[in-house]
Amino acid sequence: MVELAFSILASDFAHLADEVAAAERGGGSIVHVDIMDGHFVPNITFGPPMVEALRPVTKLPLDCHLMIENPDEYIPAFASAGADLISVHQETCRHLHRTLQLISEHGVLPGVVLNPATPVETLIEVLPMVHYVLVMSVNPGFGGQKFLPLALRKIAHLAELREEMGLKFRIEVDGGVAPETVASVVEAGAEMLVAGSAVFTRGKTEQSARKLLKLARAAEAAQS
């Protein structure tokens, strides 16, 4: 079943609890938290305190995307703050296998991220240990970027590998997911759809989330 992971990076932080509630009413079932450190990506966003602040606001799973250097140093803090899922970029992990183990040891579901220029093949060895693979369909760092079509090939490739290897990891996509791109993303094989600016529109968050999810579910139904 396709799920909507709404990215709070595009929300109105002054009314964050209301924004999360509106996206949830619209069918969003995962809260996506973009963690940026100003080093691995050219932007600075949230840390563990934001995750800790979100935890009492919603019962939905908190999906923390770590766009940071030295993620091993921060995984325990994000886990204790309330993260349910943590994904890391393989480019920042000296020993990716060990980092994914560390996430699991803290009772959190591990994920790994593919940047636009990173081949799927770099993840073959760790696919059996991840809960999900996040395909970046923009270059990480800022919201509101245009969707990169090359991501569709990666999503489809991952879906094929999953079947060939007899695995059950989920495929998440992040970047430029909007009404005009969501069908192609679902058709390629993505099941967790990260959307920010397409969901958080002033006064229309619930309606925007519902519309996007409806389009995604229609594309999913057309395939079955």
CB 80 within 8 A of CB 49: no
Q: Let me know if 12 is a catalytic residue.
A: no
Q: Is the dihedral of CA 35, 37, 41, 46 positive or negative?
A: positive
> Tell me: the pLDDT tens digits for 41-64?
888 888 999 999 999 999 999 999
> Tell me: the pLDDT tens digits for 201-224?
888 999 999 999 999 999 999 987
37, 63, 84, 174: the catalytic one is: 174
pTM recorded for the entire structure? 0.95
> Tell me: the pLDDT tens digits for 152-184?
999 999 999 999 999 999 999 998 899 999 999
Exposure on the CB side of residue 189, measured as CA atoms within 13 A: 21
**Arithmetic mean of pLDDT over the chain:** 94
Q: Let me know if 18 is a catalytic residue.
A: no
Asked whether the predicted pLDDT for residue 114 surpasses 90, the reply is yes
12, 18, 34, 72: the catalytic one is: 34
Percent of the chain with pLDDT over 90: 82
Asked whether the predicted pLDDT for residue 93 surpasses 80, the reply is yes
Asked whether the predicted pLDDT for residue 142 surpasses 80, the reply is no
Asked whether the predicted pLDDT for residue 141 surpasses 70, the reply is no
Q: How confident is the model at residue 13 (pLDDT cuts 50, 70, 90)?
A: confident
User: Is the CATH number 3.90.1300.10 carried by domain 3-223?
Assistant: no
Asked whether the predicted pLDDT for residue 143 surpasses 80, the reply is no
3-state helix/strand/coil string of the chain:
CCEEEEEHHHCCHHHHHHHHHHHHHCCCCEEEEEEEECCCCCCECCCHHHHHHHCCCCCCCEEEEEECCCHHHCHHHHHHHCCCEEEEEHHHCCCHHHHHHHHHHCCCEEEEEECCCCCHHHHHHHHHHCCEEEEECCCCCCCCCCCCCHHHHHHHHHHHHHHHHCCCCEEEEECCCCCCCHHHHHHHCCCEEEECCCCCCCCCHHHHHHHHHHHHHHHHHHHC
pLDDT of residue 199: 96
